[in-house]
Amino acid sequence: MCPSAVVWDSALLGYDLGGDHPFNPIRLDLTIRLANSLGVLDGIPLLVPEPATAAELHRAHVPEYLEAVKQAPMVGHDVGHGLGTPDNPVFSDMHESSALVVGSTMLAARTIAEGGARRAVNIAGGLHHAMRDRASGFCVYNDCSVAISWLLDNGFSRVAYVDTDVHHGDGVQAAFYGDPRVLTISLHQHPFTLFPGTGYSSEIGTEGAEGSAVNIPLPPNTADPGWLRAFHAVVPSLLGQFKPQILVTQCGVDSHAEDPLADLSLSVDGHRTIYRTLRGLAESCADGRWLAVGGGGYQLFRVVPRSWTHLIATVLDRDLAPRTPVPSNWVRTVRDTAPRVELPTTMTDDRDTGFSHWGDGADDAVDIAIRETRRAVFPLHGLDPDDPRD
């Protein structure tokens, strides 16, 4: 058995919102090219996805919405369902391209469930804002929700979803808000200051599923040490208690300091550290099963390709040293598209990702968020929110 699987096909570049929309598929293309240039994918067979079927999409979406998505390119106006907006413009083959994104995450999930791999990564996935009946935040169909729903019907009764995108994972939270079998945890920039305006620590799940939704809203400008401090104050304890059979992670990289759409201040080094941490938690808490998908990330040239190459490398246990040079052939490829962008020369931002334990007085702004989240959900999991050792 190959221990890890990578899902990729260039047809996934068809999910293209067009014009100067920030969700530009070049970020995926440049990631795969960088991973290839560095040898990360050497000898790894890529799993080629098929579009998700209507029956699969209905796991997370109502039939009327599917029809609206299919019809939208012909209708062109007044399609409703969040379509035809600046965030979610109608594009040709929208249904087919969106269904392929879902199919790619489904393939990753199925490969793990059937024992073909313990880990799988799909950088094209992570469309976490899509709702049952509408598009939102650049997302048409919610691949995360469809795949988790499928896992629940195929041998998994405890699924943990951890969302490290800068935006709240609202669509996935909404899909499982009343389902105690799914623990959703989202770390994101505070909803006062960023789309979608949800993800408060008080959002904990509905009756019967209290504590199954966990939210850690972080102050703008939070950097690697603060983000990691918050993560470690909340996530490992909850996963240890919940004991998921699989860890699903949305690995959006719009939390980077250079991202044009948001205001957290993480680095490529922070992202790399997060992936290594998630891998360790999958090993210690989830029988080693880890399904990683992409997500947001709009610094197309300097950030996304490097961070997600680290993600793929981490999933494959082919960790790249931070000071690994960025290959010159990749740089030439980017220059053809973006001649004026100043490109990084190595796989690091030279940032120190060391962090200290919550409650030590080093970061009071982040600790306010940590305490609110712990007090909201820790007692529901049999944990002491005020225990400084935890």
Which lies closer to Zn ion via its Cβ, residue 134 or residue 167?
167
Which lies closer to Zn ion via its Cβ, residue 56 or residue 203?
203
Which lies closer to Zn ion via its Cβ, residue 112 or residue 266?
266
CB of 252 to Zn ion, least distance (A): 4
DSSP classification of residue 120 = E
Which lies closer to Zn ion via its Cβ, residue 167 or residue 302?
167
Q: Would you state the structure tokens that stand for residue 94, as one six-digit string?
A: 């929208």
CB of 24 to Zn ion, least distance (A): 14
Q: Would you state the structure tokens that stand for residue 256, as one six-digit string?
A: 């980077």
Which lies closer to Zn ion via its Cβ, residue 89 or residue 116?
89
- Considering the candidates 61, 129, 168, 190, report the single residue annotated as catalytic: 129
Q: Would you state the structure tokens that stand for residue 118, as one six-digit string?
A: 């313990």
Please give the residue whose beta carbon sits closest to Zn ion in the complex. Answer: 296
317: closest CA among 39, 4, 2?
A: 4
CB of 283 to Zn ion, least distance (A): 27
User: Given CA atoms 17, 23, 24, 25 in this order, what sign does their dihedral have?
Assistant: negative
Place of tokens 């991973």: 35
CB of 390 to Zn ion, least distance (A): 29
**Using CB under 5 A as the criterion, which residues of the chain lie in contact with Zn ion when the complex forms?**
165, 167, 252, 254, 296
CB of 87 to Zn ion, least distance (A): 12
81 catalytic residue (yes or no): no
Between the alpha carbon of residue 174 and those of residues 7, 27, 160, 198, the distances in Å are: 26, 28, 14, 11
* Contact of 254 with 298, CB cutoff 8 Å: yes
d(CA 45, CA 314): 16
328's enclosing H/E stretch is: helix 328-337
Q: CB within 8 A of 278, min separation 6: which ones?
A: 162, 164, 247, 249, 251, 290, 292
Place of tokens 């019907």: 153
Catalytic residues: 129
